[in-house]
Amino acid sequence: MSWGITDRIAGFLARAARILVFLFMVGPLFFVLLMSINPQVGVFPPHAISATWYQFLLSRSDFRDGLTVSLLLGLSVTLMAVVIGTLCAFPLARVRFMGRNVLTVIFLSPLIVPEIASAVALLNFFVLIGVISNRFESLLIGLTIIAVPYVIRVVTGSLVGFDRSLEESSLNLGASWAQTTMKITLPLIRPSLLAGALFAFQASFTNVTISIFLSSADVTPLPVVLFSWMRFSFNPSLAAISTLLMVFTTGLIFTLEKLLGLDKLVGVTSGFSPSI
Amino acid sequence: MLENISKTYAGTVAVDDFSLSVQSGEFLTLLGPSGCGKTTTLRIIAGFVSPDKGNVYIHGELANRKAPNQRNTAMVFQNYALFPHMTVFDNVAYGLKLRKMNKTEIAKRVKDLLELVRLPGFEHRMPRQLSGGQQQRVALARALVIDPDVLLLDEPLSNLDFKLRQQMRFEIKSIQKRANVTALYVTHDQGEALTMSDRVAVMHQGKLLQVAPPMEIYNFPRTEFVADFIGESNFFPGKIVGLSSSIATVQTEKGLELHAVLSPSLQAEVGDAVSVSVRPERIKLLRSPVEGINTFQAEIENIAFVGSVIKYYVTVRDHKIVLEEHNTGASLCSPGETAYIQIGPEDCFVIPNVQQENQAGI
């Protein structure tokens, strides 16, 4: 019966390892959460729970401005990234043209190239042009460049497994290519479009490096505001915003799970699987 | 609905100098093994593939340049290709909505078609709620509702289980007859082809070998491949040693002499290399010797009891022959026994030898 014992020991160790890793990763975050609801600085564990720091956040105009800028940027970047990304995804996924692999790598490169390199390059570029440096537009362009690869990856993933006979059927029944794309293809890849949009929003909203390099006195995204706070004044309101961002990101992940998971439940019979 | 000389080369030759004329209202099947070019031909008619050479005519009009959505053909796909995000109603109405029909007209037509395919009241179901057979019928309804010039069916029954396939054969045929639409059906299943079609076109390696009504294809196959692919056949390759009116005497290498019927369209001369094809069920098994042409002594090697039919595997002068007898309840011969076989010359059919095989006409 040594088999059974070994199995059980192995199982126990595996579970223990999992729990430890989980605690290790989540621990600091939990700590931050505690800090954010602790009205007294430097006292741990907290004696009381209060929303002081959250209120503090909202009272600061630079925070509110930063939030507004980030939201506006986020929405615009999402829109542009989804449109550009989807347009790119179709030929990349479907047409076998010369240089396709090279082009794919180029389009996805922002994911691989260290962000600081991209940030410096972008800043220099905009300064060189001179026309749109230090404005909302440069941030928009810079963040879209970062966001597009996410959209391309998600959308090509679902296009590759897409059942073309559905499109053929549509054409056969008299629809033009445009009608077929609008009525058949896009609705069926909608989950991956949404997933791409969420990725894009997340990528731009939480982006630090490029935002720092491209921001200016009038246009400061939220991460940059927080960064400067950290350098000049350390108070638990940072913990508060961190907690908020964590909640936000977690919510995003759950939504994505639901989107792509729900889709499988609903049972799209065309047999494609959206993949990230 | 005509289709003419469509020749295609797609890397390897997919369709080779193929000509076919389909009559209005006809149910014609393209039959052949996988890779013979039948699906490619179908897709050429639909417009998904462009032929390298040749022309497609639909209703007398040249259709080569027309995109798939400009031709009035309707295709039923092997996997049905129903739009999963739309209801049955929207699926069937899809083509009509594109043609800008008004709502009441559309509703009526969809209702009529659903009744035709025996799915009344299914308008609000989603494709994933339907069984294979039901999806098949919705696909049919969707194709027929737009009143196509040609209905194209690409192995529509291959995804169904055996019983359902048998059922659907008759359903599809009767729907086609009632709708009076020209149908072009692609399959590798000869049973389907023979039971459903007005005519069968046998294809192999891109070429059209023979087009004829099912009985003719079975009884008078023009090439060795056709004879072999459809039903079972015994082949006796040899040379013509004698000719008289419509009977040829063929001698095989092993010295067997057979008197066989020569089809009038076949030009043959003494000395030609040919093959004689004989269907197993046409060979008579006799216990005692009998006089007559095409009568030979045979040694029984093996017997297979298939239920309604008994197959005997015999050897005649080194030729391995399969013959079939109906199970009449009579006692069976046993392996090792000597028996006699007799074949009527009208049941022996001369086919040109493989090298001389060329396309058959219409």
Q: Which domains does chain B have, with CATH numbers?
A: 2-224 (3.40.50.300), 232-355 (2.40.50.140)
Q: Strands B295-305 and B309-316: what pairing? A: antiparallel
For B46, the closest of A170, A172, A188 (CB atoms) is A172
> pTM of the entire structure?
0.74
Residues of chain A with Cβ-Cβ distance to B98 below 8 Å are: 173-175, 179
Instruction: Please enumerate, as own/partner, the contacts of B123-129 that have beta carbons within 8 Å and a separation of 24 or more.
Output: B123/B87, B123/B88, B123/B89, B124/B87, B124/B88, B124/B89, B125/B87, B125/B88, B126/B84, B126/B86, B126/B87, B126/B88, B127/A269, B127/B80, B127/B82, B127/B83, B127/B84, B127/B86, B127/B88, B127/B91, B128/A267, B128/A269, B128/B84
Residues of A in contact with B134 (CB under 8 A): none
Poorest-pLDDT segment among A148-157, B176-185, B225-234: B225-234
| Chain-chain contact of B75 with A172 (C-beta, under 8 angstroms) | yes
Contacting residues of B for A174, CB less than 8 Å apart: 69, 95, 98-99, 146
Top residue of B85, B97, B145 to mutate, by most chain A CBs within 10 Å, is B85
By Cβ distance, the residue of B48, B99, B143 closest to A168 is B48
Calpha distance B29→B48 (Å, rounded) = 19
Q: Which residue intervals of chain A bear CATH 1.10.3720.10?
A: 57-266
The CA distance from B47 to the nearest CA of chain A, in Å, is 8
Cβ-based neighbours of A60, under 8 Å, separated by 6 or more = A237
Is A134's pLDDT higher than 80? no
Inter-chain CB pairs, A–B, below 8 Å: 62
Task: Give which of B297, B294, B329, B289 is closest to B310, Cα–Cα.
Answer: B329
Instruction: Show which of residues 107-166 on chain A sit within 8 Å of chain B, judged by CB atoms.
Output: 163, 165-166
Which carries the bigger pLDDT value, residue B224 or residue B93? B93
Q: Is residue B332 over pLDDT 90?
A: no
User: Nearest CA to CA, how far is B77 from chain A (Å)?
Assistant: 8
Min distance B30 CA to chain A CA atoms (Å): 20
> Is pLDDT at B331 greater than 80 in this prediction?
no
* ipTM entry: 0.76
Q: Kindly tell me the number of DSSP H helices and DSSP E strands found in chain A.
A: 13, 0
Which residues of chain A are within 8 Å of residue B99 when distances are taken between CB atoms? 174
Using a 10 angstrom Cβ sphere, with 0-12 exposed, 13-18 middle and 19 or more buried, the burial of residue B68 is: buried
Residue B236's beta-bridge partner residues?
Answer: B276
Integer Cα distance of B204 and A44 in angstroms: 83
Residue B34 predicted with pLDDT over 60: yes
How buried is B336 (Cβ within 10 angstroms: 0-12 exposed, 13-18 middle, 19+ buried)? Answer: exposed
Which stretch of DSSP H or E encloses residue B333?
A: none
**A57-266, which class in CATH?**
mainly alpha
Taking contacts as CB-CB distances below 8 angstroms, the residues of chain A near B74 are 172-173
* Helix H or strand E segment including A40: none
Residue B10 banded pLDDT, cuts 50, 70, 90: low
> Cβ contact (<8 Å) for A269 and B84?
yes
Name chain A contacts of B95, Cβ cutoff 8 Å: 173-174
Of B91-95, B179-183, B357-361, the one with minimum mean pLDDT is: B357-361
- Surface of A (42-101) touching B: CB under 8 A: none
* Residues A267, B128: C-beta atoms closer than 8 Å: yes
Three-state DSSP state, A236: coil
Kindly indicate the confidence band of residue B13, based on its pLDDT and cuts at 50, 70 and 90.
Answer: low
Q: What is the pLDDT of residues B307-329, one digit of tens each?
A: 888 888 888 888 888 888 887 77
Judge: B81–A174 Cβ closer than 8 Å, yes or no.
no
Instruction: Pull the structure tokens for residue B98.
Output: 């594109």
Model confidence at B358, pLDDT cuts 50, 70, 90, reads very low
C-alpha dihedral sign at A160, A180, B160, B123 = positive
Q: Does A169 contact B83 at a Cβ distance shorter than 8 Å?
A: yes
Give yes or no for a cis peptide into B33 (omega within 30° of 0): no
Task: Give B1's pLDDT tier (boundaries 50, 70, 90).
Answer: low
Judged by CB atoms closer than 8 Å, whether chains meet at A172 and B68 is answered as yes
CB contact under 8 A, B69 and A173: yes
Short-list A247, A246, A212, A213, CA closest to A226: A212
